[in-house]
A and B are shown apart, each in its own frame.
Chain A
Amino acid sequence: MQDFLEFRSISKGYPGVQALSDVSFAVRKGAVHGLMGENGAGKSTLIRVLSGDQFADQGEIRIDGEVQHYRSVRDAFHAGVIVIHQELQLVPELTVAENLWLGHFPGKAGVIDRRKLIGVVSEKLADIGIDVDPTAKVASLSIGERQMVEIAKAVMLDARVIALDEPTSSLSSRESEILFALINRLRANGTVILYVSHRLDEIFRLCDSLTVLRDGKLAAHHPDISEVTRDQIISEMVGREIANIWGWRGRSFGAERLRVESIAGPKLKVPLSFSVRRGEIVGFFGLIGAGRSEMARLVYGADARRQGSVSVDGAVVPADSPPKSIRAGIVLCPEDRKFDGIVQGRSIEENMTISSRRHFSPFGIINPKKESELADKFIAKLRVRTPSRRQDIVNLSGGNQQKVILGRWLSEEGIKVLIIDEPTRGIDVGAKSEIYEILYGLAEQGMAIVVISSELPEVMGIADRIIVMCEGRLAADMPRAEFDERRILAAALPDIKSSKDLPLTQVW
């Protein structure tokens, strides 16, 4: 089959960065094409150029042999190119059908033809096999269902090229399965899918062909994915062989450090108990909605506890107050960095010292010299890549933001328990290894660490012990010697019987 979507010598520069240089590759009709690369490799820029959001300095995009000259996202729409971003673009208070028609409602003289509005949508949804009620408000849907609606929107607009940017990053594995089935149906209809993902297993499962970008250049193009191996792709992405990105090493554990006894809260009804020893890294695995983050927030006191107690080194920690937890030595790096982690618009320095500055502020007056010394120390120690501590934190990449949040807690005094929720979500391979290395270092100093992750390889790669959660309960607890992918997954999956009366994802 001939090439349908072609990128020809695309170059794009921003002040100070050449985001793309001379990138050329082509995708066949009806192919799912993977696009990989570390963060900053140029994937997002390429997608932006494709979507009409940004313009290439040089080069051209051809669809079905025709050179595209579009100058806006709208033009790209009309050319049949639709990009589905990580942040979904639906209006929550409108229904599914209304969202799908948004911008060109059917009807006369401004009066909407409701029958057509819902009828056409139900047909379309049934056509592509999406099981969502067209009259439901988008706000009532799970993230997975919303993504389906976005894809349905693309299909309704007769998209010829659909680009998906990290579509599974916030989906549970069951939702991902539904998405994959949908992608397969679109492929059968001849739609070209550009699939951007960090997850190699998905790329291998879904894609027919693959392009790897590195530093804005084409690192490799594989017209047939069956001819490449994982290791090859990883080395193409980083330009070097990474044999083992986990780098786990054995450690001896000390006495019990964190003890959690029968805690429960409004969103986590079944009491939970567990403990973590000095120097131990305990991984919490589970499907999205299994209650891991809720557990973390209860332990940290971010949400009010209904019952139960948390103690550190035998001393009970007062409930529901982050400041008291910090003073007792428990800290949390939250799951959603953007909403719960970073303070936008403020500098790296201020983000880092937000909690620890009280230690060098007699009568509340900050000692600016000590503050900047501390910030510089942890910028160097954690290798935060930034020209200055005064940079606004939003200008950093995800990995560097995560390091700043780690720095926030490492600059505190007397931290004994670190809870880190999705430590490497949206972070590139190189920075991932660095973050794991930081965690090992802290464990070696005797910290008790709880790592929550939805990536099974990651939990298995770095944890000394894994606790599996399923539907708000502890489902399994196994030491490293007994790690077994199948057993862990089996424990994480809810019983078929009980899952029937549950929605697709548990919305907490």
Chain B
Amino acid sequence: MTHLKKIFLGEQGLVVIFAVAFIIVSLTVPNFLSERNMLGLLQSVVTIGIIACTMMFCLASRDFDLSVGSTVAFSGMVAVMASNASGSILLGLLAAVLCGAVVGTINGVVIARFRINALITTLATMQIVRGFALIASDGRAVGINDPGFYQLALSRFLGVPTPIWVMGLFFIVFGFVLNRTVFGKNTLAIGGNPEASRLAGVDVARMRIWIFALQGIVCAVAGVLLASRITSGQPNAATGLELSVISACVLGGVSLAGGRAAMTGVIVGVLIMGIAENVMNLLNIQAFYQYVVRGLILLLAVLLDNLRSVAGRQRA
């Protein structure tokens, strides 16, 4: 019993639980382990996975970002419209990234310089940006003119679709940034104790602005890939995405109180979200139930985290 407890409540508890769940699901759910299904599963979590990278930084520094879903829709929209208008996909991509960066920077400046609560600020920008997406397209989907744009999502390298590669690359890059750079360590320090970090010489306001700006840029990348996959700019795309991304991060052990985050945890969190959905699809469970299950998984993860920190305190 104590042995079991150690495994599940230890540092790598989530990974162990994930592995166990994965094995059980592979053995019991038909077609789950097929290459086709695996790639489909990974495809389905690309948007969440990419954005979770920067959301992890945001949460680790005690901030919060609700505007990611709107930014994804808006930047996807901008990418499609700009490339349609200019005839250049590259120009479309640059415009999207620029828009993402602007939204993120505005979030950051309002939160860090004007000291407005992050929840309120991003709740506001979430609606404003969604509004922009709707205004720009008059509320309709905008189709992609240049078929080359589809290739962003459709092209494959070594049999694996490009978006999955992009997600993998982001995982590696942001894992490195978190653990091995001044930026990452300062992010964790700010989350641990913002005032102490400021007095220790960390430029807290600038750090927070950068984190939000990065978040915006990453959202734009995710937005472009999403637009390419759904072959159009959709003003209503990615609604509710912010909650899925935050769920995945929390599942992965990122503390909402800041100061604690790990890339492996977030990856596992993203995959758990994906697998849950995928399995329910394979088992033909009605979509309505999926909301309930997703909520339950999140609750369980938070409870587990709580148990773990209690166990940790007893050990100390």
Contact = CB atoms under 8 A, between A and B. Distances in A.
B199 A343 contact: no
Interface string A353-374: 0110110010011101000000
Contacts of B197: 343, 354
A366 B185 CA distance: 9
B104 interface: no
A339 interface: yes
Given A339-B193, A354-B189, A323 B199 contact: no
B256 to A, nearest CB: 13
B192 A346 contact: yes
B182 A339 contact: no
Contacts of B200: 322, 343, 354-355, 408
A60 B219 CA distance: 63
A354 B185 contact: yes
Interface string B290-316: 000000000000000000000000011
A340 B199 contact: yes
A495 B130 CA distance: 63
A334 interface: yes
B112 to A, nearest CB: 14
Contacts of A157: none
B180 interface: yes
A187 to B, nearest CB: 38
A423 to B, nearest CB: 15
Contact of B193 (A322, A325, A343, A365): A343
Contacts of B183: 364
Nearest to A322: B201
B254 to A, nearest CB: 13
B192 A344 contact: yes
A67 to B, nearest CB: 28
Interface in B166-199: 180-183, 185-186, 188-189, 192-193, 195-199
Contacts of B186: 354
B192 A361 contact: no
Interface in B221-279: 259-260
Contact of A322 (B188, B189, B198, B260): B198
A302 interface: yes
A343 B181 contact: no
B251 to A, nearest CB: 19
Given A354-B186, A354-B202, A355-B201, A342 B180 contact: no
Nearest to A332: B199
Nearest to B185: A350
B181 A366 contact: yes
A74 to B, nearest CB: 21
Nearest to B195: A340
B182 A364 contact: yes
A342 B201 contact: no
Interface in B139-191: 180-183, 185-186, 188-189
A342 B193 contact: yes
A295 interface: no
Contacts of A345: 192, 259-260
B192 A339 contact: no
Interface string B12-44: 000000000000000000000000000000000
Interface in A207-249: none
A326 interface: yes
A357 B185 contact: yes
Residue of B188, B195, B260 most packed against chain A (CB within 10 A): B195
Contacts of A265: none
B203 interface: yes
Q: Chain B: interface residue count, which band?
A: 20 to 34
Contacts of B260: 345
Given A361-B181, A364-B182, A346 B259 contact: yes
Nearest to B181: A364
Contact of B182 (A321, A325, A357, A408): A357
Contacts of B316: 395
A341 interface: yes
Contacts of A343: 189, 192-193, 196-197, 200, 259
Residue of A302, A326, A355 most packed against chain B (CB within 10 A): A355
Given A343-B259, A346-B259, A366 B182 contact: yes
Contacts of B201: 322-323, 325-326, 354-355
Contact of A341 (B180, B196, B315): B196
Given A354-B185, A357-B185, A366-B181, A344 B193 contact: yes
B195 A339 contact: yes
Residue of B180, B182, B183, B260 most packed against chain A (CB within 10 A): B182
Nearest to A392: B316
Nearest to A302: B199
A372 to B, nearest CB: 13
B199 A334 contact: yes
A339 B198 CA distance: 11
Given A346-B188, A354-B201, A339 B196 contact: yes
A339 B197 CA distance: 10
Interface string A271-306: 000000000000000000000000000001010000
Residue of A321, A343, A408 most packed against chain B (CB within 10 A): A343
Nearest to A393: B192
A235 B191 CA distance: 43
Nearest to A325: B201
A350 B202 CA distance: 13
A323 B196 contact: no
Contacts of B188: 346, 350
B185 A365 contact: no
A106 to B, nearest CB: 36
B84 to A, nearest CB: 38
A322 B195 CA distance: 11
Interface string A298-338: 00101000000000000000000111011000001010000
Contacts of A334: 196, 199
A220 B120 CA distance: 59
A203 to B, nearest CB: 32
A342 B194 CA distance: 10
Nearest to A334: B199
Nearest to B176: A365
A355 B192 CA distance: 15
Nearest to A360: B182
Residue of B185, B193, B196, B197 most packed against chain A (CB within 10 A): B196
Contact of B198 (A302, A350, A357, A395): A302
Contacts of A357: 182, 185
Contacts of A300: 199
B273 to A, nearest CB: 26
30 contacts: A302-B198, A321-B203, A322-B201, A323-B202, A325-B201, A332-B199, A334-B196, A339-B195, A341-B199, A342-B193, A343-B193, A343-B196, A343-B197, A343-B200, A343-B259, A344-B192, A346-B192, A346-B259, A350-B189, A354-B200, A355-B201, A357-B182, A357-B185, A358-B182, A361-B182, A365-B180, A365-B181, A366-B182, A366-B185, A395-B316
Interface of A: 15, 300, 302, 321-323, 325-326, 332, 334, 339-346, 350, 354-355, 357-358, 361, 364-366, 368, 395, 408
* A-B complex: 6 closest residue pairs judged by Cβ atoms: A343-B192, A355-B201, A345-B259, A326-B201, A343-B193, A354-B200
Given A343-B197, A350-B188, 8 more contacts: A322-B199, A323-B202, A341-B196, A341-B199, A344-B259, A345-B260, A354-B185, A366-B181
